[in-house]
Amino acid sequence: MGRIKKLDEKLISLIAAGEVVEGPWSVVKELVENSLDAGASRIEVAVADAGFGEIKVTDDGVGMDVEDLRLAFERYATSKISRPEDLDALATLGFRGEALAAIAAASKVIVYTRPANVTTGWRAEVVDGRVNVTEEGVPAGTTVIVRDLFYNVPARRKFAGTAQSEWRRVVDVFRRLALAQLGPAFKLTRGGRLQYATGGGSSIRQRVGEILGWDIVEQLLPVSAAREEIKLDGFVGPPHLSFAGMGSVYTVINGRPARAKALARAISAAYAGWMERGRYPLVVIYLNVPPGEVDVNVHPRKEEVRFARESLVYEFVGENIIKALASKPAAATRPAARGQGISGGETTVWAARARDAVEGYLRRHGLAAVGEMSYDAVTPTVGATATATTPGETVEVLGQLNDTYIIVRRGRDLVVIDQHTAHERVIYDRLAKGAAGGAPGACQTLLLPEVVTLPADIAADVRACLPGLRDLAFDVEEFGGGAFLVRGRPADLDVGDIASFFRQVADDYAGAGRPDGDGRRSVLMKSIACRAAVMAGRRLEPEEMAALVADLFATSMPTVCPHGRPTMVNVSPKDLEKWFKR
Ligand code: ADP
Ligand code: MG
C-alpha cells in the first residue's frame, strides 16, 4: 500500500459507475426508465453485439433543452426530485440522477434530443468527461447511443458473461419494463433483427401475449382485487406450468418492475401446496399502493422495494392468488408438496391432502414431522387384489390412497409408492434403454402438423435441443422467427400440450446449465418422463397399478425418480414392531 491520497474525479466516477452499470442490461434498464419518465409513447431499443458494441434507445418523450442536456451528465443531476419529501412519494422510475453520468463514465455516449415545442435540436457527446454540444436537426424526443461499453474498464468487461448470457439479461430487463408499463409501444431489435414489438395502450392480457408468448396466455388465471387503497391485477399460471428460477415471476409495483419480499413470500406460500420446492410459477402481477407506502430507495439499482404495511400486502396478495388458483377445475392441477396456508378459510381449498396424509402418518411413527392420515381415502381395489410378479417375489396391490399413492404388500413389507415419481422412473429407464441401444421409440406422425411459436429466448433453447428431441422420436423442424413445425411425436408417450412441453424443455435445459451430449439427452428424457408420467390425483385401475408396480421394480433404480425424489417408502415388520412396541 502507498500513501493515502484523495481519488481524482475521473476515478471516483468510474468507481461509482460500477454500482449502476453492471453490464449492457443495466444500460438498457436506465435508458428505458428515462424514456418512460420522459412520458414517451414509443420506445425502441436497438442492440448490437449483445450490447457491448452499441445500445441505442430512441423515444418520443419530452426531450431536453440545451441547459438540461449539459446538466444531464453530471452526477446527482436530476429533474425528478428537489426536496427530501419528494423521496416519500416518487412518481418517476429514476430519481438519483446518476445513471447518465455513470454510463458516460464507462462508455462512449452520444445523445440527440429535442423538445416538441422548439425547432432546434441538439447533439451532445461526452469526450473525456467533457460534454460537447452542437445544434442538430433531430426529431422530437431523445435518442441515446452508448458505444463500447467498458472500453476503459477492462476488468468489468472480463467479468461480464458470454454474449449469449448478457443478451439474455438484456431481454429479461426489457421484458420486465415492457410488462410494467402498458401505455408505450416497445420494440427490441438485435443486430437489426426484430425480437419483440408491442402495441401501445395494451391490456395486461395483450402485453403478456406480446412479451411472454400467446401460447401461454390461454393457460393463465386472472387476478383482480382491491382492499384498503391497495389494488392487485394480473395473471397467475396454473401449478403444472413451473420453472426452475424466479425468472418467471414478474412483479410490478406502482408501475415499476421491482421485487418485494412480501410479494415473493406471498407467491411461494400460495403455490406451496401445488408445486415442488425449488420450482416457480409464472406470475405477472401489478400491485398499486399509495405512493407514500412504498420505499423504493432501499436498493442501489432500485430493483427491490419495501411496503409500509408488509403483512397486509402479503396476506392480500397471497389470498387472491389462492382464489385464482382455486377457480381452476381441480383436475387440471397437480397437487404436490406440503401446503402451508396463508390464512383464513381459503387455505383448505388447496391444502395438499394427499401427500400430507401419508407423510404425516409416517412422520408420527418416527420415519419423518406431523399430519393426519385419512384412511377413508383409500380406494379399495375391487374384488381380487391385483398382483404383479417381479423378479423373485410377488407384489400385491392393496389399493390407492388419495388417488396419489399405491399401497402395496411386497413379501412381508408394506410399500407406499408415489404413482407420479414411480411412473417417471419407468419412462426414463425405457427412454434410456432405447437411446443406449440406438433404438428410440416409434414416432407417430400427426394428421395435422402443429405449429408452435415461442419467444426468442425460449426458441433458442428449444433449437439447441432439437437434435436430442429428434433422437427421442420427435419430428420437429424450425421455421425461424421462433416458429417450430411439429410433424410427429413419440407414439407411446403423451407429453400433453406441445407448446408447454417445449417451454418445459427449454426451462429444464437452461436450469441444467445448457449441457450438450449425454447431459442434454438426460435433461430431455427427464422432461419427457415428467410430462408423460401419470399425475398425482388420478384414480388408477387395479391393472394399471399392478403394471406400474411391476415395471417399477424391474427398473435399474426403483427407489428414486430421475430427479432424485423418492418413489416409495418401505415399512418393514421391524418398523411395525418398533411402532407398536412389541
Ligand atoms: P435520473 O433519471 O435519476 O433523473 P439520469 O442520470 O438517468 O437520472 O438522467 C438525468 C436527467 O436527464 C433526468 O432527470 C432527465 O431530466 C434527463 N433525461 C435523461 N434521459 C432523458 C430522456 N430520454 N428524455 C428526456 N430527459 C431525459
Ligand atoms: Mg434515470
Q: Is 30 in the pocket of ligand 1 (CB under 6 A)?
A: yes
User: Which of the four pLDDT bands, split at 50, 70 and 90, describes residue 486?
Assistant: very high
Q: How far is the CA of 95 from the centre of ligand 2 (A)?
A: 7
Please give the C-alpha separations between residue 411 and each of 94, 339, 566, 582, in angstroms, as whole numbers: 69, 34, 20, 20
Cβ atoms 131, 74 nearer than 8 A:
no
Q: Is 528 in the pocket of ligand 1 (CB under 6 A)?
A: no
Q: Is 96 in the pocket of ligand 1 (CB under 6 A)?
A: yes
Q: How far is the CA of 82 from the centre of ligand 1 (A)?
A: 14
Q: Give the Cβ contact number of residue 480 at 10 Å.
A: 8
**Cα separation, 392 vs 486, whole angstroms:** 44
Handedness of CA 234, 238, 239, 245 (dihedral sign): negative
Q: How far is the CA of 34 from the centre of ligand 2 (A)?
A: 5
Cβ atoms 195, 189 nearer than 8 A:
yes
Residue located nearest, by CA, to atom 20 of ligand 1: 34
Q: State which of 200-204, 210-214, 362-366 shows the largest mean pLDDT.
A: 200-204
Q: Is 152 in the pocket of ligand 1 (CB under 6 A)?
A: no
Q: Is 182 in the pocket of ligand 1 (CB under 6 A)?
A: no
Cell of 516: 450438450
**Cα separation, 101 vs 156, whole angstroms:** 17
Q: 155: buried, middle or exposed (CB in 10 Å: 19+, 13-18, 0-12)?
A: exposed
For residue 426, the one-letter residue type is V
Please give the C-alpha separations between residue 214 and each of 206, 207, 210, in angstroms, as whole numbers: 9, 10, 7
Q: Is 297 in the pocket of ligand 1 (CB under 6 A)?
A: no
Q: How far is the CA of 38 from the centre of ligand 2 (A)?
A: 10
Q: Is the pLDDT of residue 370 over 70?
A: no
Q: Is 34 in the pocket of ligand 1 (CB under 6 A)?
A: yes
35 Cα nearest atom in ligand 1? 23
pLDDT in tens, 535-563: 888 899 888 899 999 999 888 888 888 88
Count, residues in the chain:
582
**Cα separation, 453 vs 481, whole angstroms:** 8
The per-residue pLDDT for 386 is 56
Q: How far is the CA of 145 from the centre of ligand 2 (A)?
A: 15
Ligand lying nearest the CA atom of residue 97 = 1
Q: How far is the CA of 360 from the centre of ligand 1 (A)?
A: 57
Chain-centroid distance, C-alpha 321: 17
Ligand lying nearest the CA atom of residue 72 = 1
Q: How far is the CA of 78 from the centre of ligand 1 (A)?
A: 6
Q: Is 115 in the pocket of ligand 1 (CB under 6 A)?
A: no
pTM above 0.95, yes or no: no
Residue located nearest, by CA, to atom 19 of ligand 1: 34
**Cα separation, 124 vs 134, whole angstroms:** 6
Question: Within 13 Å of residue 75, how many CA atoms lie on the same side as its CB?
Answer: 12
Q: How far is the CA of 71 from the centre of ligand 2 (A)?
A: 13
β-pairing, 294-295 vs 378-380, is unpaired
96 Cα nearest atom in ligand 1? 3
Question: DSSP string of 54-79?
Answer: EEEEEE-S----HHHHHHHTSTT--S
**Cα separation, 335 vs 537, whole angstroms:** 7
Cell of 338: 406440503
Q: Is the pLDDT of residue 349 over 70?
A: no
Q: Is 404 in the pocket of ligand 1 (CB under 6 A)?
A: no
Cβ neighbours of residue 275 closer than 8 Å, sequence gap 6 or more: 239, 242, 281, 336, 337
Q: Is 403 in the pocket of ligand 1 (CB under 6 A)?
A: no
Q: Is 62 in the pocket of ligand 1 (CB under 6 A)?
A: yes
101 Cα nearest atom in ligand 1? 6
The per-residue pLDDT for 357 is 40
Cβ atoms 264, 249 nearer than 8 A:
yes
Task: Return residues with CB closer than 5 A to ligand 2 (ion).
Answer: 34, 94, 99
Q: How far is the CA of 26 from the centre of ligand 1 (A)?
A: 15
Q: How far is the CA of 140 from the centre of ligand 2 (A)?
A: 19
Q: What is the dihedral of CA 288, 293, 296, 298, to 10 degrees?
A: -140
The per-residue pLDDT for 365 is 42
Chain-centroid distance, C-alpha 257: 14
**Cα separation, 299 vs 316, whole angstroms:** 24
Cβ neighbours of residue 159 closer than 8 Å, sequence gap 6 or more: none
Mean pLDDT computed over every residue of the chain: 84
**Cα separation, 186 vs 175, whole angstroms:** 9
Q: Is the pLDDT of residue 110 over 50?
A: yes
Cell of 334: 397437480
Mean pLDDT of 47-55: 92
Nearest to 461 by CA among 496, 519, 499, 507: 507
Q: How far is the CA of 98 from the centre of ligand 2 (A)?
A: 7
Please give the C-alpha separations between residue 105 and each of 74, 101, 322, 391, 446, in angstroms, as whole numbers: 10, 6, 47, 71, 57
Q: Which residue has the higher pLDDT, 384 or 405?
A: 405
**Cα separation, 100 vs 98, whole angstroms:** 6
DSSP 342: -
Q: Is the pLDDT of residue 352 over 60?
A: no
Cell of 48: 448490437
Cβ atoms 209, 197 nearer than 8 A:
no
Cβ neighbours of residue 218 closer than 8 Å, sequence gap 6 or more: none
Q: Is 72 in the pocket of ligand 1 (CB under 6 A)?
A: yes
* Helices 163-180 + 456-471 axis angle, to 10: 130
By most ligand atoms within 8 Å of CB, the mutation choice from 59, 62, 78 for ligand 1 is 78
pLDDT in tens, 443-462: 888 888 889 999 888 999 99
Nearest to 250 by CA among 222, 280, 285: 285
Say which range, 154-163, 426-435, 488-497, has the weakest mean pLDDT.
154-163
The per-residue b/e assignment along 260-290, b for 16 or more CB within 10 angstroms, e otherwise, is bebbbbbbbbbbbbbbeeebbbbbbbbbbbe
Q: How far is the CA of 39 from the centre of ligand 2 (A)?
A: 13
pLDDT in tens, 404-439: 999 999 888 899 999 999 999 999 998 888 777 767
98 Cα nearest atom in ligand 1? 6
Mean pLDDT of 475-479: 91
Ligand lying nearest the CA atom of residue 86 = 1
pLDDT in tens, 238-278: 887 888 888 999 999 999 999 999 999 999 888 876 777 77
Q: Is 471 in the pocket of ligand 1 (CB under 6 A)?
A: no
Cell of 149: 461499453
Q: Is 143 in the pocket of ligand 1 (CB under 6 A)?
A: no
Q: Which residue has the higher pLDDT, 107 or 10?
A: 107
Chain-centroid distance, C-alpha 109: 33
Nearest to 429 by CA among 415, 419, 441: 441
DSSP 51: G
pLDDT in tens, 111-134: 999 999 999 999 999 987 789 999
Chain-centroid distance, C-alpha 138: 40
62 Cα nearest atom in ligand 1? 25
**Long-range contacts, stretch 378-387, CB < 8 angstroms, 24+ apart:** 378/407, 379/403, 379/539, 381/542, 381/545, 382/542, 385/542, 386/542, 386/543, 386/545, 386/546, 387/546
Residue where the block lists cell 430487463: 173
Q: How far is the CA of 208 from the centre of ligand 1 (A)?
A: 28
